[in-house]
C-alpha cells in the first residue's frame, strides 16, 4: 500500500505559527510519527508540502496509478480551491482531509470547504493527532478497496 501526505500553505510554519491554535509540534515531527505508523502497517508513505496551489494540483495528478490513498491538509486552499477539489475528484483515489484546528468553530470564511465533498472523510479539531486518525482511516479504506478488487478478480478468474 502506497500513501501520499500533502500539506498546503503555511503548514511548513507549524511550531512557529499561532501555537495557541496549531500547537507546538513541527511538521517534521508529525511526519516522523506518521512514517513510524506506516512502517508498523507495512505501508509506504511519501510527504509533500507546498505553498503553491498549482504544485499541489500537480502532485495530486501524479498520484494517479501510483498511490492508493491520500491524506491532505489543503490549509487555506481548502476554502478557495476548486482546482484542488477537481484534482482530487479526477484521480478518484481515497482521500482523507485533515485540519488541525476545528475549522467549523472559527471564522465564517473557514466554514466554506471546497475539498470535503470529494473526500472520503474529514478529520478536524484533534490537533496533530488528527493525522494519526487519518492514517488509521486511510489504511482501513485502502485495505477494503484492495480486498474488494481481489474478490472481483478471483470471481472473474472463476467465470
Ligand atoms: C488548517 C485550517 C485552515 O483554515 C488554515 O488556513 C490553515 C490550517 C488547519 O489545519 O487547521 O492553514 O487547515
DSSP per position, 4-25: EEEE-TTGGGTTTS-HHHH-S-
The residues annotated as belonging to the active site are: 22, 99
Q: Quick one: which atom of ligand 1 is closest to the CA of 76?
A: 6
Average pLDDT taken over every residue of the chain: 97
Cell of 53: 496551489
Query: CA 153, CA 61: separation in Å to the nearest integer?
Result: 26
- Report whether pLDDT(159) > 90: no
Task: Tell me how far the alpha carbon of residue 9 lies from the centroid of ligand 1, in angstroms.
Answer: 9
**pLDDT confidence of 100, banded at 50, 70, 90?**
very high
Closest listed residue to residue 15, CA positions, set 76, 96, 100, 77: 100
Q: Report if pTM > 0.75.
A: yes
pLDDT in tens, 69-99: 999 999 999 999 999 999 999 999 999 999 9
Residue nearest to ligand 1 atom 3, measured at CA: 75
pLDDT in tens, 32-59: 999 999 999 999 999 999 999 999 999 9
Residue nearest to ligand 1 atom 13, measured at CA: 75
Amino acid at each position: 500500500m502506497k500513501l501520499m501526505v500533502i500539506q498546503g500553505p503555511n503548514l511548513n510554519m507549524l511550531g512557529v505559527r499561532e501555537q495557541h491554535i496549531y500547537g507546538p509540534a513541527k511538521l517534521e515531527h508529525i511526519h516522523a510519527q506518521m512514517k513510524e505508523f506506516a512502517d508498523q502497517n507495512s505501508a509506504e508513505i511519501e510527504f509533500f508540502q507546498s505553498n503553491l496551489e498549482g504544485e499541489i494540483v500537480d502532485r495530486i495528478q501524479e498520484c494517479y496509478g501510483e498511490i492508493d490513498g491520500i491524506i491532505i491538509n489543503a490549509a487555506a486552499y481548502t476554502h478557495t480551491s476548486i482546482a484542488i477539489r477537481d484534482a482530487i475528484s479526477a484521480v478518484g483515489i481515497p482521500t482523507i482531509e485533515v485540519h488541525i484546528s476545528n475549522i467549523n468553530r472559527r471564522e465564517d470564511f473557514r466554514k466554506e470547504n471546497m475539498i470535503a465533498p470529494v473526500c472520503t472523510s474529514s478529520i478536524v479539531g484533534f490537533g496533530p493527532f488528527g493525522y494519526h486518525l487519518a492514517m488509521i482511516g486511510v489504511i482501513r479504506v485502502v485495505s477494503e478497496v484492495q480486498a474488494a478488487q481481489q474478490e472481483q478478480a478471483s470471481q472473474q478468474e472463476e467465470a
